[in-house]
Structure 1
Amino acid sequence: MRIMRPAAFITALLAGSAAMPALAQPTLTPHRAVYDIVLDEASDRSGITGLNGRMVYEFNGSECEGYTVTFRFVTQIDTSETSRVTDQQTTTYEDPGGTSFDFATKSYVDQSLDREIRGSAHKADGSTIVDIDKPQDSEVTLDATQFPTQHLVELIRKAEAGETFYETNLFDGSEDADRIMTTTVIIGKESTTSKEDEEFSVAKAIEPEKFWPVSIAYFDLDKADGEEVPDYRIDFKLHENGITRDLVMDYGDFSMKGKLVDLAVFDMPKGCQK
């Protein structure tokens, strides 16, 4: 069962397309966000009777030194016959220019290692070259694409410009690290945090307070069989400094909600403060 494509949230987003005018780089705030995860909906087909967990997302770095993300997503999934705990741990680094991307993911089921992916990707001659170290050495050549922080920057720029819909693509090193996902992005009307907001007690610490409701659908077109149905969709509130909250992760047969319950905002690296 696919539980999460980590960088696609979170943060899972990316940076400027060639068609966009040269705009100032959004300032992404280094932070650690903790989300409580609960089951939203589940069809009979999913077999899921209960789900809960926690997701911890830590974002560090700057446009001067590049960006590091550490991500952990632990869930307990219950069915009528069994219960299991999944634990996904991911670390990535994206260079300042968005030209290279290192990734490492370990996934555990009931504390036993189930999967490990490790490698790097870089852009060259209009392509994306992926060098995979684990589970075995291999090299994959993919179309030109963006990496996760680039995708986030692009999204914020388009939201600031008042755009409401666009399509782009993404490589984040998830699954077998051998494919690019196509994403369609819907950006809602700009708003500000209010005291009636369920996450206000945590989100009030976010500066600036304005945000956009965003919905991103992720498609693997390599396995499309005529009808283009997204592999999954993520809805969330995006603040202009890159912090996200009020998550809904929809995998078709079931969906999860993520509520921001703790937020630590870190200082910007001194050499990059604006």
Structure 2
Amino acid sequence: MVFAAKINAQAALRARLTLSAALLAFTLPALPAHAAANLTPHRAVYDLSLKEASERSGIESMLGRMVYEFGGTACDGYTVSFRFVTEIDTGESVRITDQQTSSYEDIRRHTFDFVTKSYVNRGLDYEVKGTARLGDDAISVEIEKPEEQSLALPQALFPTEHLIELINKARAGETFYESRIFDGSDKADEALITNTVLGEKRKADAADPEIAGIETLALRDYWPVAISYFSDTPTGDGVPVYSIQFKLYADGITRDLMMDYGEFALVGKLSALEVLASEPCDD
């Protein structure tokens, strides 16, 4: 995604569109990580639209779709497949962007494999691929693409552990906390600091059009969540790289997204949800 000289929107989106798939894809209490949350394998589809854009952004309109598929167990590890497609109109041109991310996280061995490919108008614009491992005092990252590189980063949680942490904090009634996450996004060379604000558990509004026809969510409670992501580099200016708001369910499903990139913001409404089969984790 390239905007004429006003903002490099491709870098902004590529950096944080995974919601840490996550978006969403979120220190743990005394329980071991694999026992701390019962995450539901699922495939969620979100319809995206432009909430607002500054004049500097050069964006006149923007729409798209995001597909997020989460699977696996604590025994076998967790997988995420994520695709984010947008059509961006700058008034002078229309660009189609397509980000495709897949990852595998073993929360027992604290390893994380990731690959992200970003396309612009069907042409490959950027690819990053690598493996990260959490050690006693740092994360070691081995990047294979775009070029081989070895990095040592501050300790951080990988996406599924970060999500488990978030759910545990919400269950405990905490309203604000700080953490750090590594999700392999952008150049995979940084662990970001996260500031999270958690609201009290709420009941869904039966008249909410987003959950109409989605029986698995209609009668369930959720927490409103807001997360801001900050650079941990010396050149960081204290302004979030990216921020997101959403409704979170206790099994890791999310909806009603608002993603703020500074120069523009998107909303994502859940349009389809499929709960996927999975084998129970015996251990």
**TM-superposed deviation, 1:245:** 0.4
CA distance in 2 between counterparts of 1:22 and 1:47 reads 48
With the length of structure 2 as denominator, give the TM-score of the two structures. Answer: 0.90
Question: Are residue 102 (structure 1) and residue 113 (structure 2) matched?
Answer: yes
State the Cα RMSD in Å: 1.8
Q: Tell me the equivalent position of 1:269.
A: 279
**TM-superposed deviation, 1:198:** 2.5
Of the three residues 201, 217, 220, the one matched with 1:190 is: 201
Q: CA 1:71–1:113 in structure 2 vs 1: closer, same or farther (change >3 Å)? A: same
CA distance in 2 between counterparts of 1:144 and 1:8 reads 20
- Helix, strand or coil: the match of 1:166? strand
Of the three residues 143, 155, 171, the one matched with 1:144 is: 155
- Helix, strand or coil: the match of 1:205? helix
Q: Tell me the equivalent position of 1:58.
A: 69
Question: Are residue 22 (structure 1) and residue 39 (structure 2) matched?
Answer: no
Aligned 1:17-166 pairs, distance under 5 A: 17=27, 20-22=29-31, 24-97=35-108, 99-166=110-177
CA deviation map 1:56-84 (0-9, x unaligned): 00000011111000000000011121110
Q: Tell me the equivalent position of 1:248.
A: 258
Q: Tell me the equivalent position of 2:229.
A: 218
- Helix, strand or coil: the match of 2:127? strand
Q: Is the 8 A contact 2:70 2:79 kept in 1?
A: yes
CA distance in 2 between counterparts of 1:213 and 1:59 reads 21
Question: Are residue 11 (structure 1) and residue 19 (structure 2) matched?
Answer: no
**Amino acid corresponding to residue 131 of structure 2 in structure 1:** S
Q: Is the 8 A contact 2:206 2:218 kept in 1?
A: no
**TM-superposed deviation, 1:8:** 3.3
- Helix, strand or coil: the match of 1:153? helix
Unmatched 5+ stretches in structure 2? 1-8
CA distance in 1 between counterparts of 2:89 and 2:246 reads 25
CA distance in 2 between counterparts of 1:45 and 1:136 reads 33
**TM-superposed deviation, 1:270:** 3.5
- Helix, strand or coil: the match of 2:180? strand
CA distance in 1 between counterparts of 2:23 and 2:123 reads 25
Range that drifts further, 263-272 or 135-144: 263-272
Q: Tell me the equivalent position of 2:4.
A: none
- Helix, strand or coil: the match of 2:119? strand
Q: Is the 8 A contact 2:204 2:218 kept in 1?
A: no
Q: CA 1:96–1:272 in structure 2 vs 1: closer, same or farther (change >3 Å)? A: farther
CA deviation map 1:171-196 (0-9, x unaligned): 00001001010000000110122212
Task: Please list every run of at least 4 consecutive aligned residues from structure 1 whose deviation after the TM superposition is greater than 6 angstroms.
Answer: none
Q: Percent identity?
A: 47
Q: CA 1:199–1:222 in structure 2 vs 1: closer, same or farther (change >3 Å)? A: same
CA distance in 2 between counterparts of 1:10 and 1:130 reads 19
**TM-superposed deviation, 1:126:** 1.1
**TM-superposed deviation, 1:201:** 1.4
Q: CA 1:98–1:8 in structure 2 vs 1: closer, same or farther (change >3 Å)? A: farther
Of the three residues 195, 199, 204, the one matched with 2:210 is: 199
Q: Is the 8 A contact 2:74 2:281 kept in 1?
A: no
- Helix, strand or coil: the match of 2:170? helix
**Amino acid corresponding to residue 76 of structure 2 in structure 1:** E
